Chain A
Amino acid sequence: MNWSSAANRRTVIKGMGAGALAIGGIGWAIEPARADLAKAEKLLKELIGAKVPQEGKVRLEMPQIAENGQTVPLTVSVDSPMTPDNYCKAIHILAEGNPEAGVCTFKFTPASGRAEFSTRMRLAQTQNVWAVAEMSDGSVWMTKTEVKVTIGGCGG
């Protein structure tokens, strides 16, 4: 849940679309590349218009290092009373390093009781995942977390 440190640390592991690839694995390719930030930013603008997301309220739990890039668990929750005059309307998940930046949108009403869900997503490479919450008062809140997709290898 660290904004700043994540921005320029990324490596790309493609091929087989797999997460943990062994050193000396067969039939894979690695290529360093930069995630296409523009895609995620463009999508965000489509979702929330000219509003500027604020930091806070959104909690995104993901593993620091993915065990399997094909299916990475995530849980997101938004701090909201979920009353008719103050509730979270929607949560969007964006992946800045996937071929498509949009992952999913969950919509809520006050009757939802809590603005929270768990799901799984696919990660093509090490990247930041964004969770964006739209509130009934028009405010937008956001957090990012970096998830590493590594080739593995061991120490201790």
Chain B
Amino acid sequence: MFSRRDLIALAAATAAIVGPGRAARLAAQDRLSEADLLAFKPVGNVTLLHITDLHAQLLPVWFREPSTNIGVGEVRGLPPHLTGEAFLERFGIARGSAEAYAFTDQDFVELARRFGRLGGLDRIATLVKAIRAERPGRTLLLDGGDAMQGSWVTLQTKGADIVRAYRALGVDAMTAHWEFTYGTERVKEIVEELGFPFLAGNVLDTEWEEPVFESTAYFERGGVKIAVIGQAFPYTPVSNPRWMIPNWSFGIREERVAQHVEKARAEGAQLVVLLSHNGFDVDRKLASRVAGIDVILTGHTHDALPQVLQVGKTLLVGTGSHGKFLARLDLDVRDGAIKDFAFRLIPVFSDAIRPDREMAQLIEELRAPFKAELERTLGYTKDLLYRRGNFQGTWDDLICAAILEQRDAEIALSPGFRWGPSLLPNEPIRMEDLWAQTAITYPQVYRITMTGAQLKDVLEDVADNIFNPDPYYQGGGDMVRVGGLGFTIDVEQPIGRRISELTFLKTGAPIDPERRYVVAGWASVNEGTEGPPVWELVARYIEERKEIAVPRAGLVRVKSA
């Protein structure tokens, strides 16, 4: 554990760093006002508000957007597969600006210190209330799922904290993905507790192929009958443990989506919204194949897009993740069609927006029973800790290094999750930060042996899940993170040929297809996986060092046109 003196030294170190930044942030607050963030020239009779992939982040976060986010096949180089300077250029954003900080990885640490954290449900509540006051009777607030996973409090309460927060926020409907990892019985309870529709039209029971959840909810806003169709993450039983929801079957089920759209029109809906957790590329393809969807509110792949993307007559919205953004889409709906629209993806700059008092109180109340554990400081990081990006990332380097050491393994694997906020250099690492990277219902660190050939097959399989040129075969997510292993990946190749030059980093020798390696990793989707929860190992690793300079756990070379 930390000595008192260490903690004082640590506090001083952070203060020294944060100190000058605070003045800059005050200046930033002058530039960025709540009024500026809310500025919007209203259009038409309906306002859709969208949040998605909150990942249980009730408080503001640092979240570095990816530096690598490759699109393959037809979507190569198209949004959302733009990062850094290419992104800034495509959307006309100035380098060093608040938007550059919110939307890209450019100058991240410097701009983070200048503009502060993003998100916080209390800030979102302020924005939502203001917009509802401006657009009374016209506003609909929808959540795209992955709200109930990503924090210790949410894991401990099995999503009950988010249920309360969302009820207080006045969410009108939601769909889901990680919510299913609490298992069948708990999901049924959540659906009851929400008090608003939980929509998942693509989930059928495995026995009779009958719908498990409501597919569609109808709302009247601004005199317009709106149908909201929910689409849960299609590959939940593949990507997450199927044994937790053994009787539910998912899938894209394009024809079923089309049926729901037709039915909604037949019921007199003038506006049809797909509240989707498909992932952006899947939705882009879906929009080109299923007629009659006016708006797709996308999720799952965490893409933040400053503009609406149009596919035929369908508008696609990408709202980002972790509470960083609130999407506002104003629509002029007449004669069953969108005549005009206006859009803004509002970055939730937490220093510029007043927290909503009631929501802030509720969040404090929800955290109170866990406060001591959450705030337990393990050490501090000298480097930027981030996860997001197609390959590796410092948070997972740290996790892999800890797994290698603490489970005495030769090779470590950490899943390519897209969730998990960042930490700035010289910030303390608290349990809460570590849980924000690891809090899942199947956290056990397994330890097994695998042949070199098996390792390659795992990498090929995961790569095909991300870089398959047909979006309908993509599961979203990023490449599995590795420790003790190096490889080259050519994303343009077909399965079986993407991965080459596998190297055992301990010796520098090529991976031997016949040899068995000791492999440890976490988040296995298999029932009965045994091992300590990953956060225990990583916490011990950090506490034993106190000061973390992130080791380069694995090595990935990317070949891409």
- Say whether, besides A10-B495, A22-B529, A156 and B233 are in contact (CB < 8 Å): yes
Cβ of B478 under 8 Å from chain A: yes
Cβ of B123 under 8 Å from chain A: no
B523 touches A154 (CB 8 A): yes
Query: CB within 8 A of A9: which of B206, B419, B494, B521?
Result: B494
Cβ of B431 under 8 Å from chain A: no
Query: CB within 8 A of A31: which of B206, B453, B465, B519?
Result: B453
B251 touches A63 (CB 8 A): yes
A73 to B458, CA, bound (A): 25
Q: Which residues of B contact A22 (CB under 8 A)?
A: 524-526, 529
Which single residue of chain B is at the shortest CB-CB distance from A8?
Answer: B494
The segment from B24-32, B165-173, B236-244 that touches chain A is B236-244
Fill in one digit per residue for A1-34: 1 if any B CB lies within 8 Å of its CB, else 0: 0100100111101000000111111100111100
A5 touches B470 (CB 8 A): yes
A30 touches B251 (CB 8 A): no
Q: Which residues of B contact A138 (CB under 8 A)?
A: none
A20 touches B238 (CB 8 A): yes
Which single residue of chain B is at the shortest CB-CB distance from A11?
Answer: B495
CB distance from B2 to the nearest CB of A (A): 33
- State which residues 93-147 of A face B: CB under 8 Å: 118
Cβ of B461 under 8 Å from chain A: yes
- Say whether, besides A5-B469, A148-B473, A26 and B448 are in contact (CB < 8 Å): yes
Q: Which residues of B contact A23 (CB under 8 A)?
A: 413, 415, 458, 462, 480, 521, 524-525
Most B-side CB within 10 Å, residue of A25, A64, A66: A64
Q: Which residues of A contact B480 (CB under 8 A)?
A: 23, 153
- State which residues 329-351 of B face A: CB under 8 Å: none
A153 touches B242 (CB 8 A): no
A153 touches B461 (CB 8 A): yes
A9 to B458, CA, bound (A): 15
A2 to B216, CA, bound (A): 30
Q: Which residues of A contact B416 (CB under 8 A)?
A: 153-155
Most A-side CB within 10 Å, residue of B233, B448, B462: B462
B302 touches A156 (CB 8 A): yes
Query: CB within 8 A of B237: which of A2, A20, A30?
Result: A20
Classify the secondary structure of A's interface with B.
Answer: loop
B237 touches A156 (CB 8 A): no
Query: CB within 8 A of B300: which of A11, A66, A68, A156?
Result: A156
A156 to B525, CA, bound (A): 15
Cβ of B460 under 8 Å from chain A: yes
A24 touches B521 (CB 8 A): yes
A150 touches B453 (CB 8 A): no
Which single residue of chain B is at the shortest CB-CB distance from A25?
Answer: B526
B235 touches A65 (CB 8 A): yes
Fill in one digit per residue for B483-501: 1 if any A CB lies within 8 Å of its CB, else 0: 0000000000011100000
Q: Which residues of B contact A24 (CB under 8 A)?
A: 413, 446, 448, 450, 519-521, 524, 526, 529
CB distance from B186 to the nearest CB of A (A): 19
CB distance from A87 to the nearest CB of B (A): 24
Most A-side CB within 10 Å, residue of B238, B466, B521: B238
A156 touches B415 (CB 8 A): no
A154 to B470, CA, bound (A): 18
A152 to B206, CA, bound (A): 19
CB distance from A72 to the nearest CB of B (A): 10
Cβ of B159 under 8 Å from chain A: no
CB distance from A91 to the nearest CB of B (A): 19
A155 touches B239 (CB 8 A): yes
CB distance from A18 to the nearest CB of B (A): 9
Q: Which residues of B contact A2 (CB under 8 A)?
A: 470
Query: CB within 8 A of A11: which of B464, B473, B526?
Result: B464
Cβ of B418 under 8 Å from chain A: yes
CB distance from B204 to the nearest CB of A (A): 9
Most B-side CB within 10 Å, residue of A2, A63, A66, A153: A153
A39 to B472, CA, bound (A): 28
Cβ of B62 under 8 Å from chain A: no
B477 touches A64 (CB 8 A): no
- State which residues 28-84 of A face B: CB under 8 Å: 29-32, 61, 63-68, 71, 73
Cβ of B325 under 8 Å from chain A: no
Most A-side CB within 10 Å, residue of B461, B462, B466, B478: B461
CB distance from A154 to the nearest CB of B (A): 4
Cβ of A151 under 8 Å from chain B: yes
Q: Which residues of A contact B233 (CB under 8 A)?
A: 156
B457 touches A31 (CB 8 A): yes
Q: Which residues of A contact B454 (CB under 8 A)?
A: 29-30
A150 touches B238 (CB 8 A): yes
Which single residue of chain A is at the shortest CB-CB distance from B251?
Answer: A63
CB distance from B362 to the nearest CB of A (A): 27
Given contacts A23-B415, A153-B477, A154-B240, list 18 more A-B pairs with CB under 8 A: A9-B464, A11-B460, A13-B461, A22-B529, A24-B448, A24-B524, A24-B529, A30-B458, A64-B470, A65-B475, A118-B209, A150-B461, A153-B416, A153-B475, A154-B525, A155-B475, A156-B177, A156-B476
User: Which are the 4 A-B pairs with shortest beta-carbon distances?
Assistant: A155-B477, A154-B239, A30-B457, A22-B524
Q: Jot down 30 A-B pairs with beta carbons below 8 A, ordered by A.
A: A9-B464, A9-B494, A11-B495, A20-B525, A22-B524, A22-B526, A23-B462, A23-B524, A24-B448, A24-B526, A25-B526, A30-B454, A30-B461, A32-B457, A32-B460, A32-B496, A64-B252, A65-B235, A150-B465, A152-B238, A153-B416, A153-B461, A154-B240, A154-B477, A154-B525, A155-B418, A155-B466, A156-B53, A156-B300, A156-B419
